Chain A
Amino acid sequence: MGNDPANDDGDAKAPRDAVEVAPPREAVTVPSPRDAGQVMPPRQVAAVAPPRRRVLGVLVGAGSAAYAGALAWPATRFLTPAEAPRAEAAFVRVVRLDALEEAVPVRVRVRGDRRDAFTVTRELTLGSVWLRRTGNDVTALSAECPHLGCAVAVTEDRKAFGCPCHTSRFSLAGAAESGPSPRAMDPLLARVVDGWVEVAFVRYRHGSQHREVRG
C-alpha cells in the first residue's frame, strides 16, 4: 500500500494557496508541528471553502447535539422513576379488641410484607399507629408526625399527643393544637373483624397542609 503511487493524496492539483507547503522530503514525512517549531495560523489552514465550512459546521453541531441527546434522553428517563401504581391499602390485623382499654391511646406495630425495589421481605414491622377504643369502635391515627415524620408520642399528662422533634401538639382526636405541624394527625381506616382490630396502613407526605398518599 505504501508503494502505491495512485493514492488520492497524490493529487498534484491540490489547492496550494491556503496551505504553507512543507518542503518536499524523502517519503513526505509530514513533520509534527512542534518538532518543526511550526504553528499553523488558522487563516492559512482553512482548506475548506467558507460556505462549505459553514454547512459542515452546522452538520457537526447537529451531530454533536444528536449524540448528546441520544444519551441524555434515556439517562433522564432512567433517573426519574415512574410513579408506582398505587395499590389499595389492605387491612392488616394489629391487635385484639379485648386488649384495648376504653379511650386510652395505645401504640401498636403494623406488620406486613415490605417491597424494597426487587426485595420482598415477609412479615416485617412496617410502622406503628395509635389506636383508641370507643365501645366496639376503634379509631386509628398514624404515628408519623405530619410535620417532618418523627414518631408522635402521648404527652406525660396522657391528655394529648406530642411530637418530640419540634414540639407539635395534637389533641387525643388528632387535631393540631400547637407547634409547626401544618395539619392534624393522619387518620387511618380501622375496623373490627372477628374480635381483631384491622388497620389499612397508609403513609402520607409530610410537611404540607394537604394529605397526599406517599407511594
Chain B
Amino acid sequence: MSLGDFLDERTGYRKLTRELLDEPVHGGARWAYVWGSALTLSFVVQAVTGLLLMTAYQPSATTAWSSVMYISHELRAGWLIRGLHHYGAQAMVVLLGAHLGQTALYGAYKKPRELNWLLGLALMGLTLALALTGYLLPWDQKGYWATRVATNIAGSLPLAGAAIQRALLGGADYGHLTLTRFYALHVGLLPALLVLLLAGHVALFKRHGVTAREGAVAARTEPFYPRQLGRDLAVGLVVLAALFALTLRHHGAPLDAPADPASDYPARPEWYFLALFELLKFVPGDIEWMAAVGIPLALGGYLIALPFLDREPSRRLRPRLLLLAPLALAFVAAAALTSSSLLADAGDSGYQAARVHSDARAARAVELARRGVPPEGPLAMLAADPETRGPELFAQRCASCHRLGTLGPSADKLTAPTLDGFGTERFVLALLDDPDAPELFGKTPFKGMMVSFTRPPADPALAADFVPMPLEDRTAIAKFLAAEARGTPRPGSRGEILIKQHCTSCHRFDHNPPLDESSLGPELRGWGSLAWTTAHLANPGSGASYPQGAMAKDLEGHMPAFEEELSPAELSLLASWTLNEAARVAP
C-alpha cells in the first residue's frame, strides 16, 4: 500500500482534491474570473512575508524604525522580503478594485449570492485596515504623520470620537502603545478575521459557483482544473513577478526618516488613500469627518444595499447601468482626486523642498543607524549628529543674521559677518585688510571698532603716521590664529609675537585685558577654536570670547546669548558643525 493510499483511506483527500479541481466553471474558463484567486495568492504573499518580518520587527517607539532599517539594510534578503510586503499591499488594493469591478459588472452580487457580496465587502474593509495599520509600523515620518492625520479624523467624529482616538492610540499621545496596538491589529486580529471571512467567502463561492457572464453558454462549462486554475495561477505569477520587479527596481521598500513629532513634515497617505486626503482640502475643518468618514461610509452603504436594490434576476448590464452609476462615479472621482493631488504636489515647490529635506534626513539616518543606534533610539542618534542637527540649529538660531554656505539672509539683508571660511587664514587676512567690509563688521554695530592694517585711517592726522603692516607679518598672524582655530596651536610662533606687539592694545590675550580697557576686541587665544566658539554661542559677553560690553543694550543688533535656549551639548554641537561647515565652504 502506498503512502497515498494510506493517507487517502484515513482522510479521503483524493476525493476532496478531485472535487476542488473538478469544480465546474459555468460557461467555461475566463480571464475575468482570476481576480479572487489573485487576491488570495497575494494575501498568501503578505502572510508569508509578514510572518518573516515579524521575526525581526520590534514594535516600540524607540526600536521600530531601527528594526525596519535593520531588515532593509543589514539582514540578508531583508530588503526583498520587505519590498514584497510593501508592494504586495499595494497590489492587493489594485486587485480589490479589479475584483469588485468585475463582480459588479457581471452582476455577481445578485440572488443567491448577496451574502457572499457582503463578505467580499467585509474582506475589502479588512484589507484596507491592514494597509492602514501596516503603514504606521515602520514608525517613520511618512507612516507616523499619515496615521496622525487618520486618527485625528477619527477623533473629530461627533460623540465617541475622542474615546475612539484614545483607544486607537492607547492613551493621549502617540507612542509605544500606539505601535503595539496597531501591531496587534495588523498581525493578529485583522489577519485572523480575514482568514475566517475568506474561508466563508470561498465556501459560499463553491456553493453557488462562479457567476457566468451574461449570455454564457452552459455547454461550455468545464472543470476548474486545468484551464481556470492555469489562468488564476498565471495571473498570480504575473502579480508576483511585478512585485519582484518593483522591489528590485527600488531595491526594497522606502523608509523615511525616523518619526519626529517635533518636525515639520508634509504628511501624505499611501496613494490609495490620496483621494480622501485630497477631498479634505475642500472641506472646512469642523465638518471634515463628514467627508473623510461620511463619504466612504455612504459608498459602503450603497455597496451593501446594492444586491437588495437590484432584485432583477437578469444579469444584463443595460438595465443596471443606473444602479451601478454611483460605483463608476466613485472610481472616476477617486482617479480624478488622486491625480489632482499628485499634480498639486508636483507643482508645489515648497512640498518638493520639504521632500528633498526629508529624503536627505532619511539617508543620513540610515547611514548613522548602520553604525549602531543608541538605546534611546534613532531620534537621539540624529539629535547628537552634527551633520543633521547642526544645519537645523543654525537655520533656527543663526541664519536670521549670519550667512554660512547656502543658509542665511541675502547679501543686502546681512546684519552680522558672513561665516564662510571663519577660522581660516584667508578670513583673518580679510579682517586685517578691511574689517568693515560688508561681509565682515560693515553691517554690524561693531563697525568702525577694528582698524585696518593695510589702509590708512580716515582721520588725516592719524593717516599721516600710518604704516601698513607687511603682508609677511599679516600672514604670520593669520597662520597663528588659523592654527588656534583648528585646535593645533603654535605657541611661541612669530604670529603670536606679532599679536602681542600689534593687537593687544585692543584685544584680550590669555585673558589679559587690553591697554584700552574700553575696547570690545575679543580674546585671541583660542580664537575660532571649538571651546572659544562654544563659549561665544553660550554668551558672547562672558569674556571667554568678547567682553561684557559686547552685550550692551545700546549696541543694538549685537549677538544674543543662547545658553538658556540651547543645552551645553547643543551649543557644542552647533559650534562644531559651524566651524566644520565654515571650513568646508571657505572661499
- Tell yes or no: A71 within 8 A of B by CB: yes
B contact residues around A64 at 8 Å (CB) = 233
B223 near A45 with CB under 8 A, answer yes
Scan A64-94; emit 1 where CB is below 8 A from any B CB, else 0: 1011001100110111111000000000000
Q: Write the chain A residue with the least CB distance to B30.
A: A9
Closest chain-B Cβ to A95's Cβ sits at a distance in Å of 27
Check B52–A79 contact: CB distance below 8 A: yes
Q: How large, as a class, is the contact surface on chain B? A: 35 or more
| Inter-chain contacts of B220 with A (CB < 8 A) | 9, 11, 14, 19, 47
Residue of B nearest to A57 (CB): B226
* Chain B residue contacts of A136, Cβ below 8 A: none
Contact bitstring A1-35, B, C-beta under 8 A = 1, else 0: 11111010111001010010110001111101111
- Pick the residue among B22, B63, B75, B234 that contacts A40 (CB under 8 A): B22
* B458 proximal to A (CB < 8 A): no
Chain A residue numbers with a CB within 8 Å of B26 are: 30
Cα A24 to Cα B368 in complex, Å, equals 72
Is there contact, CB below 8 Å, between B317 and A3? yes
Do A117 and B27 contact each other (CB < 8 Å), given the known contacts A3-B317, A60-B229, A67-B240? no
Contact (A120, B215) CB under 8 Å given A9-B220, A60-B229, A81-B75: no
CA distance A182 to B237 in the complex (A): 53
Could you tell me if A10 and B217 are in contact, using CB atoms closer than 8 angstroms? yes
Flag whether B295 is at the interface (Cβ < 8 A).
no
Tell whether B314 is near chain A: CB-to-CB under 8 Å: yes
B299-335 interface mask toward A, CB cutoff 8 Å, 1 = contact, 0 = none? 0000000000000011111100000000000000000
Whether A11 and B223, one on each chain, are in contact in the complex, defined by CB atoms closer than 8 angstroms, is: no
Q: Which of B340-348, B372-380, B505-513, B575-583 contacts A (4 or more CB under 8 A)?
A: B372-380
Known: A11-B217, A59-B230. A78 touches B244 (CB 8 A): no
B515 contacts A by Cβ under 8 Å: no
Q: Is the CB of A27 within 8 A of B209?
A: no
Asked if B363 CB lies within 8 Å of chain A CBs, one says no
- Does B281 sit within 8 A of A, measured CB to CB? no
CB pair A48–B81 under 8 Å, yes or no, is no
> Which of B28, B63, B226, B236 lies in contact with A9, CB distance below 8 A?
B28
Binds A, one of B64-72, B158-166, B473-481: B64-72
- Are B27 and A9 interface neighbours, CB within 8 A? yes
Q: Give A32 to B220 CA distance when docked, in angstroms.
A: 15
Question: With A and B bound together, what is the CA distance between A185 and B425 in angstroms?
Answer: 61
The docked-state distance in angstroms from the alpha carbon of A98 to that of B48 is 59
Q: Is residue B24 within 8 Å, beta carbon to beta carbon, of the partner chain? A: yes
Q: B76 touching A70 by the CB < 8 A rule?
A: no
A10 touches B80 (CB 8 A): no
A46 to B240, CA, bound (A): 30
**Cα distance A1–B318 in the bound complex, in angstroms:** 8
> Of A27, A32, A47, A80, which is within 8 A of B222 by CB?
A47
Contact A28 B217 (CB under 8 A): yes
- Measured CA separation A70–B81 after assembly (Å): 11
- Whether the pair A120, B76 counts as a contact (CB closer than 8 A) is no
Partner of B225, one of A40, A60, A63, A80: A60
CB pair B226 A53 closer than 8 Å: yes
> Interface 1/0s, chain B 31-70, versus A by CB < 8 A?
0000000000100010011001001000000010011011
* A119 engages B217 (CB within 8 Å): no
Q: Does B77 contact A (CB under 8 A)?
A: yes
Task: Name the residue in A26, A28, A30, A117 with the highest tally of chain B Cβ atoms < 10 Å from its Cβ.
Answer: A30
A71 close to B45 (CB less than 8 A): yes
| B77–A78 touching, CB < 8 Å | yes
The answer to whether A119 and B375 touch (CB under 8 A), given A9-B220, A14-B220, A45-B222, is yes
- In the complex the two chains form, is B80's CB within 8 Å of A79's CB? no
**Is B69 touching A118 in the complex (CB atoms < 8 A)?**
yes
Q: Which residues of B contact A66 (CB under 8 A)?
A: 237
Q: Verify A19–B48 contact, CB threshold 8 A.
A: no
Report whether B233 and A70 are in contact in the complex, using a CB–CB cutoff of 8 Å: no
CB of A42 closer than 8 Å to a CB of B: yes
Contacts of B234 in A (CB 8 A): 63
Whole-angstrom distance between the alpha carbons of A4 and B214 in the complex? 9
Give B582 Cβ to nearest chain A Cβ, in Å. Answer: 30
Instruction: Tell me which residues across on chain A come within 8 A of B112, comparing CB atoms.
Output: 32, 35
Question: With A9-B215, A19-B221, A47-B220 in contact, is A75–B237 under 8 Å at CB?
Answer: no
Asked if A67 and B223 sit within 8 Å, CB to CB, the answer is: no
Complex contacts, B233 vs chain A, CB 8 Å: 60, 63-64, 67
Contacting pair B22 A42 (CB below 8 A): yes
Q: When the two chains form their complex, are residues A30 and B27 in contact, meaning their CB atoms are under 8 A apart?
A: yes
Chain B residue at smallest Cβ distance from A77? B77
With A1-B105, A29-B313, A119-B373: A19-B219 Cβ-Cβ less than 8 Å: yes
A57 to B74, CA, bound (A): 41
A77-B318 Cα distance, complex, nearest whole Å: 53
Closest partner residue, chain A, to B241 (CB atom): A70
**Per-residue A-contact encoding for B480-513, CB less than 8 Å = 1, 0 else:** 0000000000000000000000000000000000
CA–CA, A214 and B41, complex, Å: 41
Whether A30 lies near B372 (C-beta < 8 A) is no
Q: A3-B316, A19-B221, A45-B222 are in contact. Are A78 and B229 (CB under 8 A)?
A: no
The yes or no answer to B573 lying at the interface (CB within 8 A) is no
Contact yes or no, B218 A21, CB < 8 A: yes
B214 touches A27 (CB 8 A): yes
Instruction: Please report which residues of chain A, range 96-131, place their CB below 8 angstroms from some CB of chain B when the two chains form the complex.
Output: 115, 117-122
Question: Is the CB of A56 closer than 8 A to any CB of chain B?
Answer: yes
List the interface of chain A (C-beta within 8 A of B).
1-5, 7, 9-11, 14, 16, 19, 21-22, 26-30, 32-35, 40, 42, 45-48, 53, 56-57, 59-60, 63-64, 66-67, 70-71, 74-75, 77-82, 115, 117-122
Q: When A and B form their complex, which 4 residue pairs have the shortest distance between CB atoms, in order from nearest?
A: A120-B372, A47-B222, A30-B26, A2-B316
List 12 other contacts, CB 8 Å, given A3-B316, A74-B81, A78-B52.
A9-B215, A10-B215, A14-B220, A16-B219, A27-B315, A28-B218, A40-B221, A45-B22, A45-B24, A81-B76, A118-B369, A119-B66
Selected A-B contacts with CB under 8 Å, 21 pairs: A5-B215, A7-B213, A9-B216, A9-B217, A10-B215, A11-B217, A14-B217, A28-B214, A32-B209, A53-B226, A56-B227, A60-B226, A63-B234, A67-B41, A67-B236, A67-B240, A70-B244, A78-B77, A80-B76, A117-B74, A121-B375
Binding site for A on B (CB under 8 A): 18, 22, 24, 26-28, 41, 45, 48-49, 52, 55, 63, 66-67, 69-70, 74-78, 80-81, 84, 105, 112, 207-209, 212-223, 225-227, 229-230, 233-234, 236-237, 240, 244, 313-318, 369, 371-375
